[in-house]
Amino acid sequence: MSMTEEEKTRYELQSYMFKALAHPVRIQLLDRLKTRSWCVCELAVEVGIDKSVASKHLSQLKEAGLIDDEKRGTQVEYRLVAPCVLELANCAVGMVLENRKRKLGLA
Amino acid sequence: MSMTEEEKTRYELQSYMFKALAHPVRIQLLDRLKTRSWCVCELAVEVGIDKSVASKHLSQLKEAGLIDDEKRGTQVEYRLVAPCVLELANCAVGMVLENRKRKLGLA
DNA sequence: TGCAATGTTTCCATTATTAGCAACAAGAGG
DNA sequence: CCTCTTGTTGCTAATAATGGAAACATTGCA
């Protein structure tokens, strides 16, 4: 309604970012990248999915600016760009759990 | 693969939280709730969507523990529970934009 | 060059998300 | 009781997201 183009863009950018985080596999990938760089094949095995699927998830995380990649021979190493995101994720799970506790307490 | 049940649950909880934030309309709703409480009908008009759609988005945000509601006569007022989420959202958009800038700089 | 290893892209089938309308539920007030 | 207002839920059609297989591209190395 009374929404400027700039506001609209901002809402879309923000949701785009969160969309990248809105999948358990992508969270798990970020969690693995917390300690060191991993190549796609390693991550695929670790998470238990096809390499093509892993590649697509990683691509989405990269588009959102959360990770970055670097070619090393035949393999591509991905690394975490914004480690703060994971603390953010932990904060998130804390919030959900607290909410559930609260609900159970009332009900 | 080497994933415990506890880890799996955590990844799902975290992604569940982010999924609630992964839609421009829900971000906009949170943005409106930043200043004061709003009822569903107000928000629906403000955002320019049907009241049923607004109700469903709000329900999802509530399930994630981001907002809470209270009945007042025939209407339901929603209010923000975790204001920190919005700073988080701003941080997110900053990250994406910075990433794009960086990419444009290189390309 | 030939071949193996690694990633990405394309395609398809399946599932999930979303919007909007209509039906329904709960209160408020005459 | 009747009706108006407000929200929620059920339903359907349209769209988006996902996984996996296969094709393709790139690199390293014998």
Closest Cβ opposite residue B48 in set A1, A16, A99: A1
Region A38-63: mean pLDDT is 97
Task: Kindly report, residue by residue over A54-104, the tens digit of the pLDDT.
Answer: 999 999 999 998 999 999 999 999 999 877 777 777 776 676 677 667 666
* Most distant CA pair in chain A, distance: 58
Sheet holding B67-72, edge to edge: B38-39, B75-80, B67-72
**Distance separating alpha carbons of residues B3 and B17, to the nearest angstrom:** 20
Task: Kindly report, residue by residue over B13-69, the tens digit of the pLDDT.
Answer: 889 999 999 999 999 999 999 999 999 999 999 999 999 999 999 999 999 989 999
Which of residues A99 and B2 earns the better pLDDT score?
Answer: A99
Instruction: Assign B1 a pLDDT band (cuts: 50, 70, 90).
Output: very low
Task: Give nucleotides in strand D with any atom < 7 A to a protein C-beta.
Answer: 5-10, 17-23, 26-29
ipTM: 0.88
Task: Kindly report, residue by residue over B72-101, the tens digit of the pLDDT.
Answer: 999 999 999 877 777 766 776 676 677 666
On whether any CB of chain B is under 8 Å from the CB of A89, the answer is yes
* C1'-nearest nucleotide to the CA of B22: C17
Average pLDDT, chain A: 87
Region A44-57: mean pLDDT is 97
Taking a C-beta distance cutoff of 8 angstroms, is the pair A41, A75 a contact? yes
Closest among B50, B67, B57 to B24, alpha carbons compared: B57
Closest Cβ opposite residue A17 in set B19, B84, B95: B95
- B75 forms bridges with which residues in the sheet? B72
Q: What is the CATH number of domain B5-81?
A: 1.10.10.10
Instruction: Assign A2 a pLDDT band (cuts: 50, 70, 90).
Output: low
On whether any CB of chain A is under 8 Å from the CB of B66, the answer is yes
* A32 pLDDT above the threshold of 90: yes
CA distance B16 to chain A (A): 7
Taking a C-beta distance cutoff of 8 angstroms, is the pair A80, A87 a contact? no
pLDDT of residue B71: 96
Kindly state the tokens that stand for B48.
């320019």
